[in-house]
């Protein structure tokens, strides 16, 4: 295995490694063959030792592969839960097992901590769709209208924003900021589909941006109809980054945490999660009586995070994520306003069977 730093890794599956890792295997055994596990276990053991030595925690997003999610992740969840955890943890170092905007959000909330990301290439098509300068132009075009920014954006964009939201709280945030500003319009950027799905749930006029998630935009209503035809009785759960005509065909829509909560609470016989592939594996591991139909799309950015990369982070201190202090202070105000809203738990904000529309989709 070419890690480039083999000398420091006890590559053999020794008795010591076995003793340190065997209790973790049952959580991933459905997805990781034993042979592969024995190759990875030395890395997992080393990561867990180094976390203790360096007072580090790993924040693992729901889209991480099961070996990362269960064997080395300390906190697991959707982007809102991970942001809350970054603000609250006592650890001195945060390893973000997720994409770059999530690491930036951690740094914005925890500037005194060292935040590392295993791959600088773990981006996001939504985050790269818009810049701070684009938001400044939007504000000139629509004066007096509050700007709500999805957390899937860079710190520069958050710094131009009145309040952030995630897919866990987007409708709540829009209602809150419109009431505070006394407006009936809102700018909700950069995900045009999330914005349309929010518009279905509110009477506010929504102006959005022509961004989209390269993973969720690929799902179509025909995909869902074919899944239902091939799997009678299947329950369809969809992420609100999917286009509205896809949500209209689903039984339930919500953030990654809300979908996971739905499966846990309802224990459907057959379910399909219209979202990133690893999510089904992670939810399946904790719900052994539920059968998962598994058409899904991989997020290439999330998949850049690997066990080897996480170990390299801990060994070398690469790649540290920093945010310019002026930008951080402004972005913090927007993120903190969101964090301070009451917790909704793993409930859905979104309607199914109903499509909404926005009043404008702006672009550069
Ligand atoms: P959640 O906030 O639902 O975890 O989604 C983050 C994300 O990137 C989905 O594609
Ligand atoms: Fe971004 Fe989509 Fe990947 Fe989530 S799944 S990180 S929104 S590209």
Instruction: Say how far apart CA 71 and CA 253 lie, in whole Å.
Output: 28
The confidence score (pLDDT) of residue 233 equals 97
138-176 as b/e, with b when 16 or more CB fall inside 10 Å?
bbeebeebbbbbbbbbbbbbbbbbbbbbbbbbbbbbbbb
Are the beta carbons of 140 and 130 closer than 8 angstroms? no
Calculate how far, in angstroms, residue 136's C-alpha sits from the geometric centre of ligand 1: 25
Instruction: Say how far apart CA 150 and CA 105 lie, in whole Å.
Output: 11
Does an H or E element contain 76, and which? strand 75-77
Q: Where are the domains of the chain?
A: 15-123+301-316
Calculate how far, in angstroms, residue 98's C-alpha sits from the geometric centre of ligand 1: 10
Bridge-based pairing of strands 252-253 and 360-362 is unpaired
278 Cβ closer than 6 Å to some ligand 1 atom: no
The confidence score (pLDDT) of residue 6 equals 47
The confidence score (pLDDT) of residue 8 equals 55
pLDDT digits over 239-259, tens only? 999 999 999 999 999 999 999
Nearest-CA residue for atom 1 of ligand 2: 124
Instruction: Say how far apart CA 214 and CA 235 lie, in whole Å.
Output: 24
> For the chain, how far is it from start to end, CA to CA, in angstroms?
45
161 Cβ closer than 6 Å to some ligand 1 atom: no
List the binding residues.
61, 79, 124, 150-152, 167, 213, 239-241, 256, 299
Instruction: Say how far apart CA 242 and CA 244 lie, in whole Å.
Output: 6
Are the beta carbons of 117 and 137 closer than 8 angstroms? no
214 Cβ closer than 6 Å to some ligand 2 atom: yes
- 216: three-class secondary structure by DSSP: helix
Calculate how far, in angstroms, residue 246's C-alpha sits from the geometric centre of ligand 1: 17
List the binding residues for iminosuccinate.
61, 79, 150-152, 167, 239-241, 256
Of 93, 92, 42, 104, nearest in space to 67 by CA: 42
Question: In the chain, which residue ranges form alpha helices assigned H by DSSP?
Answer: 15-21, 25-28, 34-54, 66, 79-88, 100-109, 132-141, 155-159, 170-181, 192-199, 221-230, 244-247, 256-266, 277-286, 307-316, 325-339
Ligand 1 atom nearest to 239, measured from its CA: 3
The confidence score (pLDDT) of residue 9 equals 52
The confidence score (pLDDT) of residue 1 equals 43
Nearest-CA residue for atom 4 of ligand 1: 78
198 Cβ closer than 6 Å to some ligand 2 atom: no
Nearest-CA residue for atom 8 of ligand 2: 124
Indicate which ligand has the atom closest to the C-alpha of 240.
1
Instruction: Say how far apart CA 234 and CA 293 lie, in whole Å.
Output: 8
Indicate which ligand has the atom closest to the C-alpha of 190.
2
Instruction: Say how far apart CA 38 and CA 359 lie, in whole Å.
Output: 55
> Cα-flanking dihedrals φ and ψ of residue 242, to 5°?
-75, 155
Nearest-CA residue for atom 2 of ligand 2: 213
The confidence score (pLDDT) of residue 263 equals 97
Calculate how far, in angstroms, residue 21's C-alpha sits from the geometric centre of ligand 2: 31
> Cα-flanking dihedrals φ and ψ of residue 247, to 5°?
-60, -35
For residue 294 the two structure tokens come to 């598994």
Calculate how far, in angstroms, residue 10's C-alpha sits from the geometric centre of ligand 1: 35
Dihedral Cα 267, 270, 276, 277, nearest 10 deg: 110
Indicate which ligand has the atom closest to the C-alpha of 60.
1
Q: What is the CATH number of domain 15-123+301-316?
A: 3.40.50.10800
The confidence score (pLDDT) of residue 256 equals 92
Spans of the chain, pLDDT less than 70: 1-10, 344-349, 351, 353-355
Calculate how far, in angstroms, residue 141's C-alpha sits from the geometric centre of ligand 1: 29
- 8: three-class secondary structure by DSSP: helix
Instruction: Say how far apart CA 255 and CA 246 lie, in whole Å.
Output: 15
Calculate how far, in angstroms, residue 91's C-alpha sits from the geometric centre of ligand 1: 24
DSSP label at residue 342? P
pTM: 0.94
Instruction: Say how far apart CA 129 and CA 26 lie, in whole Å.
Output: 40
191 Cβ closer than 6 Å to some ligand 1 atom: no
Q: Is the peptide bond before 319 cis (omega within 30 degrees of 0)?
A: yes
Residue in 167, 215, 252, 298 to alter for ligand 1 test, most ligand atoms within 8 A of Cβ: 167
256 Cβ closer than 6 Å to some ligand 1 atom: yes
């Amino acid at each position: 295995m070419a890690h480039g730093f083999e000398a420091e890794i006890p590559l053999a599956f020794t008795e010591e490694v076995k003793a340190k890792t065997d209790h973790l295997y049952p959580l991933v055994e459905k997805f990781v063959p034993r042979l592969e596990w024995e190759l990875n276990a030395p890395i997992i053991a080393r990561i867990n030792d180094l976390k203790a030595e360096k007072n580090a925690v790993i924040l693992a997003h729901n889209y991480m592969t099961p070996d990362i999610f269960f064997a080395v992740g300390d906190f697991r969840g959707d982007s809102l839960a991970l942001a809350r955890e970054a603000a609250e943890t006592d650890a001195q170092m945060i390893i973000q097992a997720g994409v770059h905007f999530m690491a930036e959000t951690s740094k914005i909330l925890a500037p005194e901590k060292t935040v590392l990301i295993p791959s600088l290439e773990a981006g996001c098509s939504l985050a790269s769709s818009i810049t701070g300068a684009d938001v400044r132009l939007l504000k000139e075009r629509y004066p007096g209208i509050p700007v709500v920014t999805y957390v899937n954006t860079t710190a520069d964009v958050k710094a131009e924003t009145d309040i952030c939201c995630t897919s866990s709280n987007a409708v709540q945030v829009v209602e809150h900021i419109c009431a505070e500003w006394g407006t009936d319009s809102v700018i909700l950027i950069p995900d045009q589909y999330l914005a349309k799905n929010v518009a279905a749930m509110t009477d506010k006029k929504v102006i959005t941006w022509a961004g989209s998630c390269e993973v969720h935009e690929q799902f179509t209503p025909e995909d869902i109809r074919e899944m239902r035809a091939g799997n009678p009785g299947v329950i369809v759960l969809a992420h609100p980054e999917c286009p509205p005509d896809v949500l209209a065909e689903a039984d339930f829509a919500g953030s990654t945490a809300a979908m996971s909560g739905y499966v846990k609470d309802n224990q459907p016989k057959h379910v399909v999660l219209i979202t990133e592939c690893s999510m089904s594996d992670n939810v399946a591991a904790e719900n052994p009586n539920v059968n998962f139909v598994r058409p899904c799309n991989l997020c290439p950015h999330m998949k850049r995070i690997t066990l080897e990369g996480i170990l390299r982070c801990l060994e070398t201190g690469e790649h540290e994520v920093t945010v310019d202090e002026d930008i951080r202070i402004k972005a913090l105000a927007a993120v903190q306003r969101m964090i301070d809203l009451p917790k909704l738990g793993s409930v859905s904000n979104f309607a199914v069977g109903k499509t909404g529309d926005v009043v404008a989709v702006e672009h550069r």
